[in-house]
């Protein structure tokens, strides 16, 4: 074997080894990242769950009724207040004579 080819092989092996190490560490840090994200995901999901429950709790009809009575100038609808479009008297548009 010629010395040049030996050097070539040594360089190739060295490059591959360091490349492999780089890859291994990259994968390891990616895995750590994944685990961290998963933990974050779980924590966020738990938070979302709690917020959903709180939203439903705050939307209790009896609470809304009290708040509406206190802050809004609205009253419960009566049957009379519901209608359809064709019950409305529409303005008559007169066609102008040429």
Q: Is 84 in the site for other proteins (CB under 8 A)?
A: yes
Q: Which of 77, 89, 90, 92 is in the footprint of other proteins by CB under 8 A? A: 77
Q: Which of 3, 5, 73, 80 is in the footprint of other proteins by CB under 8 A? A: 80
Q: By CB under 8 A, what part of segment 14-53 binds other proteins?
A: 34, 38, 41-42, 45-46, 49-50, 52-53
Closer residue to other proteins, CB minimum distance, 7 or 18: 18
Instruction: Calculate the CA dihedral of residues 71, 75, 76, 81 and round it to 10 degrees.
Output: -140
Residue 69, exposed/middle/buried by CB under 10 A (0-12, 13-18, 19+)?
exposed
> Minimum CB separation from other proteins for residue 78, in Å?
7
The pair of three-digit structure tokens given for residue 30, joined into one six-digit string: 């990616």
Measure Cα distances from 29 to 55, 56, 72, 98 in Å: 38, 40, 55, 82
Instruction: Using CB under 8 A, list all residues that contact other proteins.
Output: 34, 38, 41-42, 45-46, 49-50, 52-57, 59-62, 76-84, 87
């Amino acid at each position: 074997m010629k010395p040049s080819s030996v050097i070539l092989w040594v360089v190739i092996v060295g490059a591959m080894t360091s490349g492999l190490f780089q890859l291994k560490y990259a994968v390891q840090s990616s895995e750590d990242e994944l685990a961290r994200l998963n933990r974050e995901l779980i924590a966020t999901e738990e938070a979302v769950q709690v917020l959903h429950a709180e939203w439903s709790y705050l939307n209790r009809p009896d609470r809304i009724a009290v708040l509406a009575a206190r802050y809004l100038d609205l009253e419960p609808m009566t049957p009379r207040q519901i209608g359809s479009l064709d019950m409305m008297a529409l303005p008559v548009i007169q066609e102008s004579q040429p």
